[in-house]
Each structure stands twice: as C-alpha cells, then as structure tokens.
Chains A and B, each alone.
Chain A
C-alpha cells in the first residue's frame, strides 16, 4: 500500500512537473526520406486547408491572414438561441485577455451565411466589443464554410429543422497553432474549459518551433 502510494506520487511528479505539451490532432501521414543513406521518418500533420471568406469589414480573409498566428476558431450564428451566447461570453473573456496581442487571433465563422451578412456580423461584432483586426467574424459560401468546419476543424455544422434556431452544431472552440495544426478542442459553453484554453494558448505562445 505504501509502495503504491509512493509510486503514484512519483508518477504525478514526473508527469506533472515537465512542461506540458499539447497534442497535435488529426490524421497524420508518414514521409520517409533518405538522407545520407539513412532512412528518416517524418510525420506530416494535417493542417487547416486554404480558405477564402469575408470578414465583418467586407475584407477577404484567407490563409494569409492566419499566417504565423495562434488562433481560436468557432462556428456560430447570430440568431442562435441556445449555446452560442455562452460560447461568445467565454470567447469574450479569452479575447479580453489577449486583446492587442498581435500573435493571437479569433475567427468566428457563421454557419448561417444567408442571414449573417457582412453588415449583420459587423453590428454583432461591434455590440460584443470586438476589434475587427483581431477578432474576425467570417461569412461566405455556405458549402465552403461547412466543408471547412468538418475537414479543417473537426466541427459539425448542419441545418436541422428540429433544433431550436434550425441548426445543430458542436459548440467547440478550436485552438490552432502557427503551423495551422489543430492542437485542442474545448467546450465553448464551459467556463472551466475556457480557463484550460487560456493555459493552452500560453503553452503555444511559449512553444519553440
């Protein structure tokens, strides 16, 4: 019994002490190269694909916008009665913490582009107090947004007439690193998860390439 508890203590010490690293999510391919006659195995991680959407100022936003940035992505819609307001509250808390930090961006994608036009998103962002340089509210082609959600961020967003508001979506906040790799998915409705997300942003900010 005593031995066991010592063992547990030691494991806690080892795992709890070292710098916490974040996993890289998604499928990975293996690339085998021959360098100096030796086989070198390299993992290729999946990354967020290229995209082209419009932000709340009517400006084109694409992969160049997020180049070398850490960012938090989410999917929502303005008239959402259920989980989005909680997500936005937690996002606002995180945004306030990094407001003015040029390394951290926020990308909120609408999944209801028919209603959420540039001007609707602009009004929404202003009411929330979000600066369009750092917190981008994105609209665009419906199918490309849904594809991006599913393929790039492992988030589901589907029209569903049985759901209040007409859509089902995951409510996740997705953390992406400077190399466009997804490093964590958090429950956007949970304040606890928002705290974890902040710690994880710190880890990414301190991560060496």
Chain B
C-alpha cells in the first residue's frame, strides 16, 4: 500500500517535471527562432547585439524606452515608428519602416527575443 503511493508520487513528479521541461524547451525554441528572425529583420539597423548605431538607430539592449513600453514592440515591428523619440537619454529621429511579410506569431517571437535577451523582461512571456 505504502509502496504504491510512493510509486504514484514518483509518477506525479516525473509527469510534472517533464511538463516543466517541455515548457522550458518551448521557450528556448522560441528564442532560437526569435533570434533568427531578429537577425534577418532587425539586426542590420539595431545590430546583432542590440546596441544600435550612433544617434541613427536606437539601442534595443537595456533600453528604457522598451522597459517603459514593453507592449509597444509588436506594433513598432508591424507598422514602424516615426518622429522624435528619446532612448536612454539620446534623441533619435529617423523613421523606422514597418517590417512586412511577418506573421503575428513571428512578430511575437521577435518581441520575446528582444524582451528576454536584451532587457531581461522574462515575466512578460507568461501570458
């Protein structure tokens, strides 16, 4: 009797553990494709490491603008961004074109990559 309950517990444990494992894998898979999409669509301006370029292209790495507007990324990717904005104390004012031919899922993947990798905003991924 006792033995079987231990066994049950063990099963439960393995089940839960594999579940967590699965979720973890999903997150890493998303980050990997997020990275690829980022490289293809964003890195030429914002650079591979997200540091931006001079006063032309703002940084995405540790950017106060993103920390203050974490949900704005999706629409920035989709529709672009125009007009003067201040990121980490520096003014930028060159229009960013919206990136065409991206599905909503791909946009989410890029946004997650930018939030998690560049700004450590993990909590936003749990939706």
B56 and A127 contacting across the interface, CB-CB below 8 Å: yes
What is the distance, in angstroms, from A173's C-beta to the closest C-beta of chain B?
A: 16
Report the tally of A-B residue pairs with Cβ distances under 8 A: 39
The answer to whether B53 and A89 have CB atoms under 8 Å apart is yes
Interface 0/1 of A50-91, CB less than 8 Å to B: 000000000000000000000000000011011101101100
Q: Which of A120-141 contact B (CB under 8 A)?
A: 123-124, 126-129
In whole angstroms, what is the CA distance A89 to B47 when docked?
A: 9
Q: By the criterion CB–CB under 8 Å, are A85 and B45 in contact?
A: yes
Asked whether A92 lies within 8 Å of B45 as measured between CB atoms, the reply is: no
Q: Are A79 and B45 in contact (CB under 8 A)?
A: no
Closest A residue to B45 by beta carbon equals A85
Please tell me the size bucket of the interface on B. 10 to 19
Which A residues lie within 8 Å of B47 (CB)?
Answer: 89
Contact of A129 among B44, B54, B93, B97 (CB under 8 A): B54
The answer to whether B55 touches A128 (Cβ under 8 A) is yes
Task: Return chain A residues, CB-CB under 8 Å to B93.
Answer: 123
B54 near A83 with CB under 8 A, answer no
Q: Name A165's closest neighbour in chain B (CB-CB).
A: B97
Tell me whether B85 is interfacial, beta carbon within 8 Å.
no
Given A92-B54, A128-B55, A129-B54: A85 touches B94 (CB 8 Å cut-off)? no
Beyond A85-B45, A92-B54, 15 additional contacts (C-beta under 8 Å) are: A79-B97, A81-B97, A82-B44, A85-B44, A85-B53, A85-B56, A85-B57, A123-B93, A126-B55, A127-B54, A127-B55, A127-B56, A127-B94, A164-B100, A165-B97
